[in-house]
Structure 1
Amino acid sequence: MFDYETLKIIWWLLVGVLLVGFAIMDGHDMGVGTLLPFVAHSDIERRIVINTVGPHWDGNQVWFITGGGAIFAAWPLVYATAFSGFYWAMLAVLWALFFRPVGFDYRSKIHHPTWRSIWDWGLFIGGFVPPVIFGVAFGNLLQGVPFHFDDNLVSYYTGSFWELLNPFGLLAGVVSSAMITLQGGTYLAHRTEGTIQARTVRATVAAAVVMVAGFVAAGLWLQWGGMEGFQITSVVNPAALPDPLTKTVVRSADAWWLNYQRVPALWLLPLLGVAGALAAAALVAVGRTLCAFVASSLAVVGVIGTAGAAMFPFVMPSSTMPNASLTVWDSVSSHLTLGLMLGATVIFMPLIVLYTGWAYRVMRGKVTEAYIRDNDHAAY
């Protein structure tokens, strides 16, 4: 059994892995949904696009569900506080996601252009809205969230939904949306051919440019835009029982860069985010679509890793009561809970990865117009 401090670090890494897995796997079918109205102009073309992700999208939702479950079990204070502060934002995500199962299942039930067009736009909403909101949420985490605790560790959120839509939060939403669109574009280019693929390549290159520009702009904003980060100034016992009110936190202009100063190798993460996106754009443009998907996935690792490395050990900083900020050390479950969850993860995560890999291998190959016509009743 690992000691308590080690388990806290392990679960910080595992939550990061789940977020990256969600962005890569569920992200590429959300990206396909975002591109659907723009790269497919006829009904048969839209059916081709939908069938590239139709057999897999619900399996990819496992990453989203597991990530939420992991945060609930490993970081209960973070889960409770986040859902209080981001309540309407999370509801908007759920409302958008509702369009996906019904869109996939009902779109082809009726052969009527209006009916199908409505569900096509529903799939677009289900693919476009969640990444934007997740990005906005990350942008607000970097600025600090207006919450505090009372003496009984009951959290109180003092902000509003509209305050989340601040300029930096919206910029983070643009980066997130472009990143997911890039991920979906490389996958869609790999699974299609002809006119659809050509349109997808153009859209993918554009998404890569927007992502890189937004990502770099966000970094410059953090550096020179006057945005303060958070820094612990008191002594912290990483093995202590959770209590977020026992530390001292101050805000400073360079706080989010301290980890990069201490460990220069961390600069490889933002470099990976930029280089991965540009490589994905270049590779998809020359027809190396599988390599482009790998490069795009590495860009996802770089972008999410950049934010995680900058914030560590903070998970959810408080802008109104900095000492109440939630960190890796003081927002976790008990030693026993983390240990039992780690055992379950070691058993089941490899099974999920193996099954997912097998499913993609079995259903690999191009989705063509001939396939849709030959499998009209089985295809979406």
Structure 2
Amino acid sequence: MTADILVLGAGIVGVSTAIHLQRRGKSVVLVDRRGAGEETSFGNAGLIQREGIVPYGFPQEVSTLMRYGLNNRIDAHYHIAAMPKLVPFLSRYWWHSNKVRHNAIANAYAPLIENSVSEHDDLIQASGAGDLIRKDGWMEVFRTEKVRDDELAEAERLSKVAKINYTVLTPADLAKAEPHLKDKFVGGLKWNDPWSVTDPHGLTKAYLAYFQSLGGQFVTGDATTLGQSASGKGWQVTTEDGVVEAEKVVLALGPWSEDVTRKLGYSFIVGVKRGYHMHYSPAGNAVLNNWTMDKERGYFLAPMAKGIRLTTGAEFADRDAPKSPVQVERAERVARTIFPLGHRLDDEPWMGSRPCTPDMMPIIGKAPRHDGLWFAFGHAHHGLTLGPVTGRLIAEAMTGETPFLDISAWRPERFKA
């Protein structure tokens, strides 16, 4: 089998990239070891985060670091045995999270986020996936006045610099919006611009079906077999349908990208933040109307198609270590005190790995030392959000168009790779 372009990885980034390339008249073969959207893209809070222009930084205050060091939180957990291996990533992550550097990163990151909803809208309409989308934002709820005031001040700043819309919620507003939420909160904040997805896996599958309707092919294969073709004019990978050759290839393998890049001589420092989710039925006649974050505790409750999805924060561990869903247990205990959750709907917690760079921005662009090799990974907490915008940028650059955004801030060369 031959094609113009191979796209390795059928998560939201890879599928979106394949669509945009196929739209431009290229023959594209999309390759994954599993079905589309069955790895990292499967489990998330289901948000297209138009408000998320400031990436999640590493805490700088000593007092905060000491609290995290106790390792008893919902929003972060770490494996002690994994720390020596994670130090190179974490130390650079901490360095880039300095206030001055973090502000500069946020400014460079913002254009991607600012186009996230409009680029998704294009693919949602084309794929007929509108029934999976809600356009009414999400909300944070606050237990203390200090956290409330700090978050409202940040929201006001973002509204001025990035035209992000929000609504302040009083306790009475919360009671009206969420009648079954317990009275434990001093107020809330509604981010109005983001969209939410009731079935993230379903959305990726809808995009895949659209890609296939354009003539694109999806095959099962092993991305780690990637190598330069026998003819020396391109690339090849082994699949269940045999060897597939193409002139160009895009690596959109998320946290598994380094399994290929290291073989090719690149040494990007990419860490992972593992995350978990579990679905619940509501107890009795309870209804959760909004995607809701318990800000001080660091977990999400989201009214998904399958049930109420509880998602945790970040787990710092070896990518391939066995599950350790202690954050789910911690979050469930707290969540039951604020909302009447019923029984669990999943046999076990789901776990996924978010691919993270130390400067909190994705790697998007042409490989420095190989012709025909392109990178599209490292989207951290915003893979779902940034899939379509990344796909369009990669496709434009690969086909000789001028990308609609300047991609230099996210180029691979920013690392000594």
TM-score (norm 2): 0.28
TM-score (norm 1): 0.30
- Which one has more relative contact order, counting CA pairs under 8 Å at least 6 apart? 2
Q: Which has the higher strand share?
A: 2
